[in-house]
Structure 1
Amino acid sequence: MPPQESSTLMASPPAKSVYAKYLAALGPGFLFAGAAIGTSHVVQSTRAGAEYGIGLLGFILLAVLLKYPSFFFGPFYVSVTGKSLVEGYRQTFGKSVVALFALVQIPVTAIIIAAIAITTAGLAGSIVPLTLSPPTVAVILIALCCALTFVGGYKLLDWVNKVFIVILSVTTVFAAMAAVPLVDWTLYPATAVSPLFSTATFITLVAVLGLMPSDITLAIMNSLWSEARNKNQGMRSDTAAEKIDFNIGYIGAAVLAACFVIMGAGVMHSQGITPADGAVGFASQVISLYTNTLGEWSGVVVGISAFTVMLTTLLTVLDGFPRMITASYYTFTREAEAEETRTLEGGRAFLVCMVGLSLLAIVILYTLMGSFRLFMDFVMVVAFLISPILATLNHLTANGPTVPLALRPSRLINAWSWLAIATLTLLSLGYIYVRFIY
């Protein structure tokens, strides 16, 4: 990009109507929703409903509310500095923190990609009869999504994701509405698999809330998508526009999480059905239960909804994770270049990161997917345990020296953020005590 474009990005946007400004900002929030509404929703939320009825729904929504500032600091930071949180970490804490962050994220992101891919493959096999094995289908899906994101970049990803988000939102809401009459609306039903105040319920809560609405790493990816949107448009969206875009995606993720809990409570918990452990078996189980309970039409709706959810997630994470690792790499190799002028997608570093993470995910698919439920619980717990650290980094970056004092978050959002950090820390310590000491 020519040097003069950097000054354009750093300048305030030209005058335009309020509606046009907010419409132009839409995109990263939808990508946030596309990445967040994945395995945590289709698998964990549905399973929570199947085992606990609506008993855990309040905790899930509370977790979504509590984590809001930690996620919002991603697009917020871009709106006031023009840079992503990766660059914010480097300028606030130094390169060592960025390096440690990237090293931790590489195996975690590969595990998440593998989990999303195998779940998507399982849903595909439940909708259309396939002769290939689920891991093979998962590999094909990974390859197709990689090709699409690498060739199309942010602009194509944004367009495809918006189409998928509309489909998954409509079908998921319809499926949840169909399940509503079957739900036992007792606050915490006696038929739950374990009492509310028990070690088993606490461990389940940690596993479910670990990726609800998503891993806090998504805040970093969201900041990179906001940066890509700014570059694509040649101007930076202000904080108000970023907030509206983010809120749409965030609230949408919360609503659909509730929908999947209701679906699990209505078609599985009400019939006392134990969820299957495997991704393929669980997907087939949910769809067949809808078909048997509410008719053929409902199975089709649920199948399309769940598959679209997972395909959207796979597509967005196969752009977001390589983008995040590439940005981390660039902090060590291209520090002198203004971050806003970089084109992350389509370059050699991005391709290497995408292929590397995909190959690692494929290895995991063929070696570590014996017990899908145990595997997913492990991923959720790891995500939960590192949440306080990432939330703290986001908070300190948004309030750090790279942000002008007058533009820093309000006292309310900062107090909210500290409450989230304290709560996540206490829950993480509580989990370690219950799991390994008690």
Structure 2
Amino acid sequence: MNERLSQFSKTAGPGILFACTAIGVSHLVQSTRAGADFGLLILGFVILVLLLKYPFFEYGSRYANSTQTSIIDGYKKLGKPALWLYFLLTISSMFFVTGAVGFVTAGFFENLFGIDFLGEWTVIILFAVCVGTLAIGKYNVLDSLIKIIAIVLLISTISAFLFALYNGPIDPVIGFEPKELWNITGIFFLLALMGWMPTAVDLSSWNSLWTLERIKQTSYKPKLKETLLEFRLAYIITSILAVMFVVLGSFIFYGSGEELPNNNSHFANKVVTLYTETIGDWSYIIIAASAFTVMFGTIIAVLDGYSRSLQRTVELIFTKKEDKIRTKFRTFYVIFLIVISTGALVVIFQFGSNLKELVDFATVLSFVIAPIIAIFNFRLVTGKYLEKEHQPSTLLKILSFSGIVFLSGFAIFFLFIKFLQ
């Protein structure tokens, strides 16, 4: 038993980083909005997309463990055009995704400390701290702190959820009319919700990079089933929390006639209120600090993930011999950190204080990209690139095929609607 726990502790890490990345905007913002605007009607779509997108995230971890290379290396095996397409898709989305996450994180920071006079400087300082932390390699210490605070948020969310179930949903105000889901606005939000539920599919490449980094860090190569167990536990927790946030948003806001704020700090205050209205006012500062720390973990993981994936992509595109890669491109990681944070700031300034528009744009963009990455990942783990014993089960292959059809169908449907507008 002790040996198993020791092995799991050496394997644990990539799944937790994935969970920290996912619990950010998709849960605290989008799931809460979904429940508040559409009630429990939206819950079925959340569960469905969590199920159908699961294989493509798992494949990142599966491929890394089986081949000891990242799934980005696998994209090169599919052909240079596939690698270039991944590179272009990453560049096209990274500023908007990072901007959305950074803007939300800044809102939780302002809410925690009661700051409303720094304005745009809040997010500038936030990005500077993140880039500095990652550049000097202190992420391991920060990661340990994030895990502790994330546990506090996990316990708090479960407590608030149970209290909300006990108290039941609020009584709708007189004259309350629910929002229509099956119109242009409703469908657009549905796509935005699914785009980052639990997170963007292209982030699956980060799982493979983090898996390899963890193996290097601990000098322990886990069996495939160990790597998959760690990821699956993280994914299950992430999925359960998504459902809880939808229920919290529905029980506390749906029918109140109250619109969730569009300002990032005001929205953060409303999210924290989800807890205090069920647990008690005494918990406000604990929840506010935990929520900010989890969001800070999200933004630092996003910056790290994009920079790592871009560095590896550039290495593979522009270097022919593996032994020349590390010396030639090792400084690119820091350069990409600066470029991504600067581009994200430009995006934030462009959208101003319009939180919902920025988040929806970034998440819908991720949803449109999703089918391409899903197909790439599926090909890599079901074809000649992976040994038979490491390939997914028939059930997982069927789920993957269903997911590709689902993601492609909705992406085409969205593009069709936008073309007609």
- TM-score, normalised to structure 2, is 0.90
1:132 and 1:323, CA in 2 relative to 1: closer, same or farther beyond 3 A?
farther
AA paired with 1:120? T
Indicate if the aligned counterparts of 1:194 and 1:200 stay in contact, CA closer than 8 A. no
Match of 1:407 in 2: 390
Cα separation, 2, equivalents of 1:312 and 1:176: 23
2:31 corresponds to 1:48: no
2:12 corresponds to 1:26: yes
AA paired with 1:266? F
What is the deviation of 1:157? 5.5
Paired residues for 1:225-244 under 5 Å = 225-244=210-229
Match of 1:391 in 2: 374
What is the deviation of 1:294? 6.2
C-alpha offsets along residues 38-84 of structure 1, whole Å, 9 cap, x if unaligned? 11111111111111122212211221111110110000001110011
Match of 1:61 in 2: 47
Paired residues for 1:12-411 under 5 Å = 17-91=3-77, 93-130=78-115, 132-152=117-137, 155-156=140-141, 158-184=143-169, 193-195=178-180, 197-288=182-273, 291=276, 295-337=280-322, 347-411=330-394
Cα separation, 2, equivalents of 1:24 and 1:342: 25
What is the deviation of 1:264? 1.4
Indicate if the aligned counterparts of 2:105 and 2:296 stay in contact, CA closer than 8 A. yes
What is the deviation of 1:115? 1.4
Cα separation, 1, equivalents of 2:75 and 2:251: 44
1:132 and 1:238, CA in 2 relative to 1: closer, same or farther beyond 3 A?
farther
Cα separation, 2, equivalents of 1:21 and 1:295: 39
AA paired with 1:175? A
What is the deviation of 1:156? 4.0
Of the structure 1 ranges 131-140 and 120-129, higher mean CA displacement relative to structure 2 is found in 131-140
Indicate if the aligned counterparts of 2:28 and 2:271 stay in contact, CA closer than 8 A. no
AA paired with 2:108? L
What is the deviation of 1:185? 9.8
2:386 corresponds to 1:428: no
AA paired with 1:177? L
Of the structure 1 ranges 58-67 and 228-237, higher mean CA displacement relative to structure 2 is found in 228-237
Of the structure 1 ranges 323-332 and 428-437, higher mean CA displacement relative to structure 2 is found in 428-437
C-alpha offsets along residues 338-358 of structure 1, whole Å, 9 cap, x if unaligned? 69x95999x411011111101
Indicate if the aligned counterparts of 1:118 and 1:135 stay in contact, CA closer than 8 A. no
AA paired with 1:269? Y
SS in 2 for 1:53: helix
AA paired with 1:97? A
1:285 and 1:156, CA in 2 relative to 1: closer, same or farther beyond 3 A?
closer
- TM-score, normalised to structure 1, is 0.87
Indicate if the aligned counterparts of 1:183 and 1:262 stay in contact, CA closer than 8 A. no
What is the deviation of 1:24? 1.3
Indicate if the aligned counterparts of 1:83 and 1:227 stay in contact, CA closer than 8 A. yes
Question: How many aligned residue pairs are there?
Answer: 417
Cα separation, 1, equivalents of 2:56 and 2:294: 23
Cα root mean square deviation, aligned: 2.7
C-alpha offsets along residues 109-163 of structure 1, whole Å, 9 cap, x if unaligned? 1211111112111112212122543421112111112222222266446434423
1:292 and 1:155, CA in 2 relative to 1: closer, same or farther beyond 3 A?
closer
Of the structure 1 ranges 319-328 and 158-167, higher mean CA displacement relative to structure 2 is found in 158-167
AA paired with 1:385? V
What is the deviation of 1:319? 1.0
Cα separation, 1, equivalents of 2:391 and 2:250: 42
1:131 and 1:48, CA in 2 relative to 1: closer, same or farther beyond 3 A?
closer
What is the deviation of 1:335? 4.0
Indicate if the aligned counterparts of 2:170 and 2:254 stay in contact, CA closer than 8 A. no
Cα separation, 1, equivalents of 2:357 and 2:406: 25
Of the structure 1 ranges 177-186 and 53-62, higher mean CA displacement relative to structure 2 is found in 177-186
What is the deviation of 1:240? 0.2
1:154 and 1:322, CA in 2 relative to 1: closer, same or farther beyond 3 A?
same
Indicate if the aligned counterparts of 2:106 and 2:123 stay in contact, CA closer than 8 A. yes
What is the deviation of 1:295? 4.2
Indicate if the aligned counterparts of 2:67 and 2:386 stay in contact, CA closer than 8 A. yes
SS in 2 for 1:75: helix
Of the structure 1 ranges 30-39 and 196-205, higher mean CA displacement relative to structure 2 is found in 196-205
AA paired with 2:311? T
Q: Structure 2, unaligned stretches of length 5 or more?
A: none
What is the deviation of 1:198? 4.5
What is the deviation of 1:220? 0.4
Indicate if the aligned counterparts of 2:146 and 2:294 stay in contact, CA closer than 8 A. no
1:94 and 1:138, CA in 2 relative to 1: closer, same or farther beyond 3 A?
same
What is the deviation of 1:30? 0.2
AA paired with 1:150? A
Indicate if the aligned counterparts of 1:51 and 1:192 stay in contact, CA closer than 8 A. no
